[in-house]
C-alpha cells in the first residue's frame, strides 16, 4: 500500500530526496547485493519486494513499462555513467558513538509524530481501508517497508531525514541537526516491521556488504548491533584490512 513517491520525493526529482534523474543509463550494472548483473526492471522489482514490501511485477506489465519509460524521460540528456548533483540521500558527518533510539524517540515525538503519528502508522487516504494508500507513509508496522529495504539501514535513513524532513525542507535549509537525524533514524529502524525472507543470501561477497546492513552474516567480526547503529569507522577499517589481506602483498 506504499507508493514510490513516499521515498522518491517530488516524483523522483528532488535533490537528495532519492531522485530518479539520470538513473536509466546506469543499467544494466553489477549488484553487490545479488552478486549478479541487474537490469533496471530487476532494480524496480527489488524496490517492490523490499521498500514497498510487495510483489514482483512482470517485466511486460503495463505498470513496469510505464515506470521504465518515466525513468528514461527523467534521464533525457544525461550520458550513461554520469551522476548528477543531488543524487542519493546526501552525506552528512557520522557520529563517533552509536546512534541512540532512546534520544531519537524524544526527537521523533517533537518533529515527526504530528504527521507520521506517535505509533508510526502514518495517515491513510481513507480511514476504513489501506487500499487507497497513504497521504503520509507508515514508518514501521505491517504496512511499512521491510527489513531488507535500503531505508531500514541507518546511513540511508539518517541522511534522508536530515535533508528532507520535516516535510517541505531541503538540503539547503535542513531543520534537523545531524545528531537528531541519526538518533531519529535509529529509533525508526529499531521498530518492528515486516521481515524479508532470505536476507542471509544477500551480498554473496560479504566484504561488499554495506557497513550499516542491519542483518548478518558479516565478515568483519562486528555484531549486528554495531552494524545497525554504528559507529561505523571501526567496521570500515576492519573491512579495508580484510580486503588488503585478500588482495595480498604488492609486487616489488
Calculate mean pLDDT across residues 162-188. Answer: 97
Residues 6+ apart with CB under 8 A from 90: 16, 159, 160, 162, 163, 171
pLDDT score of 214: 97
Q: What is the second-level CATH architecture of the domain 20-74?
A: Orthogonal Bundle (1.10)
DSSP character at residue 150: G
Residues 6+ apart with CB under 8 A from 84: 19, 21, 22, 78
Summarised one tens digit per residue, pLDDT across range 49-77 is 999 999 999 999 999 999 999 999 999 99
Cα 163–Cα 229–Cα 42 angle in degrees, nearest 5: 65
Summarised one tens digit per residue, pLDDT across range 92-127 is 999 999 999 999 999 999 999 999 999 999 999 988
pLDDT score of 250: 66
pLDDT score of 251: 62
Q: Is the pLDDT of residue 81 over 90?
A: no
Q: What's domain 86-197's superfamily in CATH? A: Cytochrome c-like domain (1.10.760.10)
pLDDT score of 115: 98
Q: Is it true that 20-74 and 86-197 share their CATH fold?
A: yes
Domain ranges of the chain: 20-74, 86-197, 198-252
Amino acid at each position: 500500500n506504499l507508493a514510490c513517491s513516499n521515498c522518491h520525493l517530488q516524483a523522483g526529482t528532488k535533490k537528495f530526496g532519492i531522485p530518479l534523474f539520470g538513473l536509466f543509463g546506469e543499467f544494466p550494472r553489477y549488484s553487490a547485493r545479488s552478486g549478479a548483473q541487474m537490469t533496471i526492471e530487476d532494480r524496480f522489482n527489488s524496490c517492490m519486494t523490499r521498500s514497498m514490501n510487495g510483489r514482483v511485477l512482470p517485466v511486460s506489465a503495463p505498470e513496469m513499462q510505464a515506470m521504465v519509460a518515466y525513468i528514461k524521460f527523467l534521464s533525457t540528456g544525461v550520458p550513461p555513467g554520469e551522476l548528477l548533483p543531488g543524487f542519493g540521500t546526501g552525506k552528512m558527518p557520522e557520529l563517533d558513538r552509536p546512534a541512540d533510539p532512546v534520544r531519537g524517540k524524544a526527537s521523533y515525538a517533537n518533529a515527526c509524530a504530528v504527521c507520521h503519528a506517535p505509533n508510526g502508522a502514518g495517515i491513510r487516504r481513507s480511514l476504513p481501508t489501506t487500499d487507497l494508500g497513504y497521504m503520509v507513509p507508515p514508518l514501521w508496522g505491517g504496512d511499512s517497508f521491510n527489513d531488507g529495504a535500503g531505508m531500514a539501514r541507518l546511513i540511508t535513513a539518517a541522511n534522508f531525514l536530515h535533508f528532507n524532513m520535516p516535510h517541505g525542507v531541503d538540503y539547503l535549509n535542513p531543520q534537523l541537526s545531524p545528531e537528531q537525524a541519526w538518533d531519529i533514524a535509529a529509533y525508526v529502524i529499531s521498530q518492528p516491521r515486516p521481515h524479508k525472507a532470505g536476507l542471509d543470501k544477500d551480498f554473496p561477497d560479504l566484504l561488499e556488504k554495506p557497513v550499516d546492513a542491519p542483518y548478518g552474516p558479516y565478515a568483519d567480526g562486528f555484531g549486528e548491533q554495531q552494524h545497525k547503529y554504528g559507529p561505523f569507522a571501526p567496521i570500515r577499517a576492519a573491512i579495508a584490512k580484510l580486503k588488503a589481506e585478500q588482495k595480498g602483498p604488492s609486487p616489488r
